[in-house]
Amino acid sequence: MKNYKIIIQYDGTPFCGWQIQKNGRTVQGVLTDALSTVLREKITINGSGRTDTGVHAIGQCANFRTGKVLNEREFVYSVNSILPKEISIISFVEVDFEFHPRFDARRRIYYYMISHKKSPFYFDYSMYRLVNLNIEKLNHYSNQIMGEHDFTSFAKTADQAENKVCTVYDARWRKSGFLTIFRIEADRFLHSMVRTIVGTLLKAHDENFHDDRITNIILSKDRTQASEAVVSKGLFLYKVIY
């Protein structure tokens, strides 16, 4: 039995997230069907983590096992030829049999994009906000979420994870043309955590929070203390580090 790791890119716009659902079209579901068709056997795919409805991925990692010895070029070509245009396998490699993309991941990196001009090319891939942002102020507030914290206040209330402690290694903003881009890197993320952090940091920026306000939101472990999550279409899973 062989264990193969694949890196996948997808436009999350038409999907109900990554994870297979009974009543929704998902990335995992479409990939499972494509792999099973090409390999002519029932395939199970494990992902590095779930992405919500409308969230995109530049470097989602997954694995599957099969008894077949696969040629990289032929396999990738065959699967990509039947996948919809919104999904693509960009790399493929055999890995140790025990490798698991979720449990072996050390860090994950997400980007969130905000567009300050109305552009048809960025409509499905960014949050539109006409007013420009003060990057220095946003980075000042972002410093307060770095480190190891219980992020209950930033998780969707339906999140079933018992342990909500995450370590944020990097959280910073920058400008690129008419885009403002937020990068966050952590060992793990809770359900809707990144989008809620972005929403809270934007509110802190707009309302000039006192320096201890975000710290108090974290310590409260109360989802109602944080802001609403921003729209999912601006969020990208950029990379998973092993």
- The pair of three-digit structure tokens given for residue 12, joined into one six-digit string: 């999350």
**CA dist., res. 117 & res. 129, Å (int):** 8
* Spatial contact of 221 and 94, defined as CB atoms under 8 Å apart: no
Active-site residue, selected from the candidate residues 11, 33, 52, 124 = 52
Nearest CA-CA partner of 20 in 46, 38, 42 = 46
Running DSSP on this structure, what letter comes out for residue 143? G
**CA dist., res. 211 & res. 182, Å (int):** 20
52 carries an active-site annotation: yes
**Extended beta strands in 102-178, E state:** 107-115, 127-128, 147-150, 165-176
Which residues, listed in sequence order, are joined to residue 87 by a DSSP beta bridge?
A: 10
* Spatial contact of 179 and 207, defined as CB atoms under 8 Å apart: no
Helices 135-142 and 193-207, axial angle in degrees (round to 10): 120
* Spatial contact of 157 and 169, defined as CB atoms under 8 Å apart: no
* Spatial contact of 65 and 1, defined as CB atoms under 8 Å apart: yes
Q: Residues with catalytic annotation? A: 52
